Amino acid sequence: MPVVAAFAVPHPPLIVPGVGRGRERDIAATVVAYEEVARRVTELAPDTLVISSPHTTSYLDYLHISPGRGAHGDFRDFGDRADGSDVSYDVELVRELEGAAEATGIPAGTRGEREARLDWGVLVPLHFIQARCQGFKVVRMGLAGFSPLEHYRVGALVQQAAARLGRRVVYVASGDLSHKLAADGPYGYAPDGPVFDEAVCEAFASGDFLRLLTMDPGLCERAAECGLRSFQIMAGALDGTPVRAELLSHEGPFGVGYGVAAFTPVGPEASDPDRRFEGAYLAWHESALAQARAAEDPYVRLARASLEHRVRTGTTLPLPADLPAELTDRRAGAFVSLKKDGRLRGCIGTIAPVRASLAEEIVENAVSAGCHDPRFSPVREDELTELVYDVDVLGEPEPVGDRSELDPARYGVIVSTPDGRRGLLLPALDGVDTVDEQLQIAARKGGISLGEKGVRLERFEVVRHL
């Protein structure tokens, strides 16, 4: 069995005494659980530790694996240069992984390293493990903007590559849970924070990895989590493996969730087809997309039809004859947003109407969102069935005299300057919880500093169609 154990662990630097300077006592349960993880790793005597970290080099469209023969890192960014780690990389396993990714079409490998120094997502687990266990090599990887299934497949490649080389691998999935568990925490409180932590801890305790793959992306965004994709790779590293699942600890005294879990294979060379989660995920994903499509209203159906027609034919969709009068007899600004696997894939709109009808506004803006959003490559035909659409119809903007008149859950905001720069942000966006966040993002989109002279604020309401 190539992956002899896997552990999900958090990475708060203050758990290291040289950083925490006594505050580590406030997360004593996490310390005890970490020491148990280190004890078990020592007993297993792995050849290689594979560690995924949210703070290693990451890209939206590429999963980075650290190159070279090794690396060093310390906690100098947290005021502690004395504590750190040196590792030797398993060059052969890295090469095997990179070749396997290329062969399967997964964009992963050693290109594009931005920071060779070990990050704290790797240093924290090494702090505990290396205190007991030496002699292993390391494979260090980041995360990507992939779907849950693609992260899972990367983990399966780890398992397969280790098997081909005869490696005994321990997988360490570094990642915190929600960062929004307490109002007095550094990131504030969101009701979805505790909900996220509870769901992940239940998945850890039961070994239900499908739950890690199918969590609501909106919930995850609102909870401000950082470790889920790391856990998804870990799940893939145990593809088809029956395990004993244990939640060793969970706490969140600083408003951030710290969970420690262990997954131990049971039975020599055993394999369990029910623990190959790719098929179950694909069935769930197909059903979720079908349900979303069946629930679309005429606004969203028009946006979808417009983009699909343009991508497939290169021409503009003629307005259907059966559109309701509210689309053909009304003018309004509208934004069309596209999401794929819960992540934004394009968003373009008009603040005020520029076309003869709302229907025409939606038709054109759907095409712009899919084909002309400068943040993304144009939508391909093979992506069309994966897209989920929102259409926001904007009300009339009204001037705002004071920030107290804003509410990011109810109102969108427009920030503008006398020289014509303007930035807009829609309301009720996942992860945008405060007026300050909303204003800063809108201003940044317009290239505006909120401290500039003459900055003008407006608010508007929207009707969101899903």
Judge if 188 and 105 occupy the same domain: yes
Structural contact between residues 259 and 29, judged by C-beta atoms closer than 8 angstroms: no
Q: In this structure, is residue 285 part of a structural domain?
A: no
Looking at residue 241, its pLDDT comes to: 95
Within a domain: 114 = yes
Residue type at 389? Answer: Y
363: CATH: 3.30.700.20
Which domain-ending residue is among 340, 358, 388? Answer: 388
**DSSP per-residue codes, 30-63:** HHHHHHHHHHHHHHH--SEEEEE-TTS--BSS-E
Handedness of CA 351, 223, 212, 235 (dihedral sign): positive
Q: What is the pLDDT of residue 401?
A: 85
One-letter amino acid identity for 239? D
* 175-191: b (≥16 Cβ within 10 Å) or e: bbbbbbbbeebebbbbe
Q: How far apart are CA 56 and CA 121, in angstroms?
A: 7
Q: What does the block give as tokens for 433?
A: 């919880």
pLDDT for 271: 81
Structural domain including 73 reads 3-272
Q: Does residue 270 surpass a pLDDT of 80?
A: no
Average pLDDT value for residue range 203-221: 96
Could you give the CA distance from residue 18 to residue 85 in angstroms, rounded to a whole number?
14
pLDDT of residue 403: 87
Domain end, chosen from 339, 366, 388, is at 388
Residues 10 and 76 in one domain: yes
Q: Is residue 82 situated within a structural domain? A: yes
- Burial 322-340, CB ≥16 within 10 A → b, else e: ebeeebeeeebbbbbbbbb
Strand-pair category, 80-88 with 70-75? antiparallel
Residue 186, pLDDT score: 86
Q: Quick one: 320 and 268 in the same domain?
A: no
Same domain membership, residue 117 and residue 137 = yes
Residues 219 and 334: their CA atoms lie apart, in Å, by 25
435 and 374 co-located in one domain: no
- What is the per-residue pLDDT across 214-231, written as a single tens digit (0 to 9) for each? 999 999 999 999 999 999
Same domain, 409 and 372: no
Residues 64 and 164 in one domain: yes
Angle at 460 between CA 455 and CA 461, to 5 degrees: 160
Q: Are residues 210 and 144 in the same domain?
A: yes
Same domain, 360 and 428: no
pLDDT tens-digit map of 92-102: 999 999 999 99
The predicted pLDDT at position 268 comes to 66
Q: Which of these three, 388, 416, 438, is where a domain ends?
A: 388
Instruction: Indicate whether 291 belongs to any domain.
Output: no
CA distance 60 to 257: 25
CATH at 246: 3.40.830.10
Torsion of CA 404, 405, 409, 414, to 10 degrees: -110
Instruction: Please count the structural domains in the chain.
Output: 3
pLDDT digits (tens, 9 = 90+) for 233-269: 999 999 999 999 999 999 999 999 999 999 999 976 6
C-alpha to C-alpha distance for 298 and 301, rounded to whole angstroms: 5
- Whether 279 is in a domain gets the answer no
Q: b/e per residue, 52-80, with b = 16+ CB within 10 A?
A: bbbbbbbbeebbbbbbeebbebbbeebeb
User: Same domain, yes or no, for 8 and 129?
Assistant: yes
Q: What residue type is 346 in one-letter code? A: G
* Contact predicate 89/71, CB 8 Å: yes
Confidence of residue 417 (pLDDT cuts 50, 70, 90): very high
Q: What is the CATH number of the domain that holds 456?
A: 3.30.1490.150
Q: What is the pLDDT of residue 92?
A: 98
Reduce the DSSP state of residue 27 to 3 states and report it.
helix
In a domain, 284, yes or no: no
Residues 57, 26: one domain?
yes
Alpha helices in 105-146 (DSSP H): 120-132
pLDDT computed for residue 228 by the predictor: 98
Q: Quick one: pLDDT at residue 212? A: 98
* 426 SS3 class: coil
Instruction: Kindly state the percentage of the chain with pLDDT values over 70.
Output: 99
- 449 DSSP assignment: -
- Contact of 431 with 370, CB cutoff 8 Å: no
What is the pLDDT averaged over residues 106-126? 96
Q: What pLDDT was estimated at residue 267?
A: 77
Residue 314 lies in a domain: yes
Tell me the mean pLDDT in the region 28-38. 97
Evaluate whether 395 touches 460 at the Cβ level (below 8 Å).
yes
Q: What stretch of H or E contains 108?
A: strand 108-109
Whether pLDDT at 391 is above 80: yes
Same-domain pairing of 90 and 218: yes
Q: Other CB atoms closer than 10 Å to residue 461's CB: what's the count? A: 15
